[in-house]
Chains A and B, each alone.
Chain A
Amino acid sequence: MGFPVKFARNRWYVAAYGNEITRKLLPRTILGEALVFYRTQAGQVIALSDHCVHRRFPLSESHLDGDNVVCGYHGFTYDPSGTCVAVPGQRRIPRTARVPAYPVVEQDSFVWVWIGDKDKADPADIPRAPWLDHPEWTSVYGMEPLNAPYGLLVDNLLDLSHETYLHGGYIGTPEVADTPIRTEVDDEQQIIYVSRHMDDAACPPFYAKSTGITGRIVRWQDIEYHPPCLYLLHSRVAPVGVLPDADGSDPGGFHVEVVYAITPETENSTHDFWAVARDFARDDEGVSDFLRESNRTVVLQDVVALNKLAEVLAAERDGYQELSINIDTGGLAARRLIAAQIAAGEGAEPARAPSTAATG
């Protein structure tokens, strides 16, 4: 079973950070569907199909009139539900004059959008990343475009042994690749856990400079992946020998929550959202700047590698033979869960404007 390329519909995906959505129209393609985002005057996030039903002009190239979008080509005007409320030169509005509106939820700094059958959208199904806007945590974040299928990023993030080789000098040390992993798959809840606990490891610059630890460390990496979109890495570092207390409190540990949202743009490109939240040095702007730049560098190292890998795979004949070893256990599990999600979402067709749309 190869990495996934096709999309799992009837799922929530991160479309943007909340602060990206303003009173300015923002275009973004999600699972091959062109959407436009904006906020109403009351602050609600709206997501509509980006193509005017009339001649398909991008609504993102248009403008807002109050809470309505006015097409920049002929003036077709849509309210936040996607219903056309005005057309030029006539009073009768064709019955089919509307664009699809998408369910959206703003949560944990993200704007989530539902891609699939609207009546199946349940906000309770959205996985959480509460550190990103939690008052006791400080976050840095960004988004990088990736010219590769999203499945390559899933592979990448589920196997952190690559940190040793691709991210040496930033987050990788020899112990990462050398330490065995434990993998759990909760088939019912659709969650994959991959744990790697290092008892005595070198402290990479990412943690040495941010925590101030100068010696070797205990380093725990606990992945919690909610396919297809949300990836959480619960990271704990502490000086060697410093463990959580028996009651579960952890005054000697430094905690970093690394969050990725893996959102397919097309079958060959991906929105790579990343965030790093910490519970130490929370007011230290220098630490924030360092972690932001360091993590962005690491993400861009992945982007460069995965872009090259995508080029290689695109040029290969179908049916090439992969080789998987122990480090791939979590990634293989993710492929299987996502394949099941793709199958479950089949039949949920991309949102389309009515094909009979006409100007009357």
Chain B
Amino acid sequence: MTAVAGLRDRTDSETVFTVEWVPGTDLLLGICHCGARRRFEDPVELWDWLLRHPEGHVNPPGSAEPPPPVHEPALSR
């Protein structure tokens, strides 16, 4: 049982937005291609933020702790 090789490989695109469902929570983590990260409860607000890049994408790439967004609830980590 083999897969057709290559089709699932990602491209080298530099504009990939990622949204992860944070394990054990109802929160979504948006990750911009610039490295900015922010958590949301609402996917609509999340996409509004991601697609406003670079506006509001201020935390430095690789930052472990995203800045507290306006709509983000307190998190227990």
Contact = CB atoms under 8 A, between A and B. Distances in A.
Contacts, number: 84
A130 B1 contact: no
Interface majority SS on B: helix, strand, loop or mixed? loop
A188 B14 contact: yes
Interface in B1-16: 1-4, 7-8, 10-11, 13-16
Contact of A186 (B2, B7, B13): B13
Nearest to A182: B20
A187 B2 CA distance: 30
Contact of B51 (A136, A184, A189, A336): A336
Interface string A173-189: 00000001111111111
A254 interface: yes
B8 A224 contact: yes
Interface string A227-269: 0000000100000000000000111111100000000000000
Interface in A315-335: 324-326, 328-329, 332-333
B69 interface: no
Interface residues of B, number: 27
Interface of B: 1-4, 7-8, 10-11, 13-21, 23, 26, 28, 33, 42-44, 46-47, 51
7 residue pairs, one from A and one from B, having the closest CB atoms: A180-B21, A187-B15, A188-B13, A183-B19, A185-B17, A188-B15, A329-B43
Interface of A: 128, 130-131, 134, 136-137, 180-189, 191, 222, 224, 234, 249-255, 279-280, 324-326, 328-329, 332-333, 336
Given A250-B3, A336-B47, 11 more contacts: A137-B4, A180-B23, A182-B19, A186-B11, A189-B11, A191-B11, A222-B8, A251-B1, A255-B1, A332-B43, A332-B47
